[in-house]
């Protein structure tokens, strides 16, 4: 500690500086919003004009899964990346077993809430094509149901076969890619749908996305690679060596 005679001052030690910066940022945002003419009309008109061709009647879903499906594709991959990072960090964290559940109240809550959550997720998924809702919201509810199960030390992620879990997590990104590439092979731009199929493709994508997002979020909360018994693999090698 020879070279650091001066005390280090992090932003947290000077909260007022942070507040001033925040207020300046807020003022800049307010200025952009309040000065007339600085905000263009937005793309609402274009969206409304081509809504009929999108296959769904909800503007948000039309943007997310048709006009800007590319963004949603990347979001699915980012979630997948998050799970991969968490799994690769497994050794960094402590893998102590979860504390035993708080017991009866949580169990009763689970019994009441889980069916309701699955129902709500399904409704949100379906409602997404015409009103508020959609894959991410439904996926979040499913993820919440998974978290609730994990809180009760339910080992549902450990029981799930590894292959099923990995396929479940990668289902949405892979399906998205497949849809995009299928469009390419038919001579259309990446991730575009034919008008007749648009509705069906969007609903299928949403179902896959909600499922994968829910599984991804629950896996993220578990925070580690599920523990698999390594016996089968060893047995296989042992059998090979025996031959």
Q: Are 173 and 213 in contact (CB under 8 A)?
A: no
Q: How far is the CB of 151 from other proteins (least distance, A)?
A: 8
Q: Which residues 80-99 are close enough to bind other proteins by CB under 8 A?
A: 93-94
Number of residues in contact with other proteins under rule CB under 8 A: 25
Based on DSSP, count helices (H) and strands (E) in the chain, helices before strands.
11, 0
Q: Is 208 helix (H, G, I), strand (E, B) or coil?
A: helix
Angstrom distances, CA of residue 190 to CA of 66, 171, 240: 11, 19, 46
12 forms part of the interface with other proteins (CB under 8 A) = yes
| Burial zone of 134 (CB within 10 Å; 0-12 exposed, 13-18 middle, 19+ buried) | buried
Q: How far apart are CA 56 and CA 160, in angstroms?
A: 35
Our CB check for other proteins shows the closer of 59 and 160 to be: 59
Q: Segment near other proteins (CB under 8 A), from 43-51, 159-167, 191-199, 219-227?
A: 219-227
Q: Which of 64, 194, 218 is nearest to 134 (CA)?
A: 64
Site for other proteins in 36-75 (CB under 8 A): 60
Q: How far is the CB of 147 from other proteins (least distance, A)?
A: 5
**Contact status: 144 vs other proteins (CB under 8 A):** yes
Cα of 84 vs its chain's centroid, Å = 13
- Cβ at position 173, least distance to other proteins in Å: 18
Considering the rule CB under 8 A, would residue 116 count as an interface residue with other proteins? no
Residue 35 phi, psi (nearest 5):
-70, 120
Q: Give the nearest distance from C-beta 5 to other proteins in angstroms.
A: 14
Q: At closest approach, how far in Å is the CB of 209 from other proteins?
A: 13
Q: Which of 47, 101, 109, 147: binder of other proteins (CB under 8 A)? A: 147
Question: Is 193 a residue that touches other proteins (CB under 8 A)?
Answer: no
Integer angstrom CA distances of residue 25 from 22, 29, 218:
5, 6, 35
Please give the residue ranges that form the binding site for other proteins (CB under 8 A): 8, 10, 12, 15, 18-19, 60, 93-94, 124, 131-134, 136-137, 140-141, 143-144, 147, 217, 220-221, 223
């Amino acid at each position: 500690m020879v070279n650091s005679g001066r005390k280090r001052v992090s932003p947290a030690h000077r909260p007022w500086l942070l507040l001033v910066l925040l207020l300046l940022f807020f003022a800049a945002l307010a200025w952009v919003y309040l000065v007339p003419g600085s905000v263009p009309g937005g793309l609402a008109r274009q969206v409304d004009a081509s809504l009929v061709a999108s296959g769904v009647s909800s503007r948000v879903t039309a943007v997310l899964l048709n006009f800007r499906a590319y963004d949603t594709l990347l979001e699915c991959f980012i979630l997948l990346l998050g799970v991969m990072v968490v799994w690769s960090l497994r050794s960094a964290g402590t893998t102590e077993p979860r504390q035993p559940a708080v017991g009866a109240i949580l169990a009763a809550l689970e019994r009441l809430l889980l069916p309701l959550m699955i129902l709500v997720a399904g409704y949100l998924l379906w409602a997404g094509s015409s009103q508020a809702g959609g894959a991410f919201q439904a996926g979040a509810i499913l993820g919440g149901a998974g978290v609730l199960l994990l809180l009760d030390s339910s080992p549902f992620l450990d029981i799930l076969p590894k292959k099923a879990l990995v396929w479940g997590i990668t289902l949405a990104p892979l399906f998205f890619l497949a849809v995009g590439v299928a469009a390419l092979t038919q001579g259309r731009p990446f991730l575009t749908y034919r008008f007749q199929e648009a509705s069906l493709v969007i609903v299928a994508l949403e179902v896959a996305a909600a499922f994968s997002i829910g599984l991804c979020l629950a896996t993220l909360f578990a925070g580690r690679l599920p523990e698999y018994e390594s016996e089968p693999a060893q047995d296989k090698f042992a059998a090979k060596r025996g031959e």
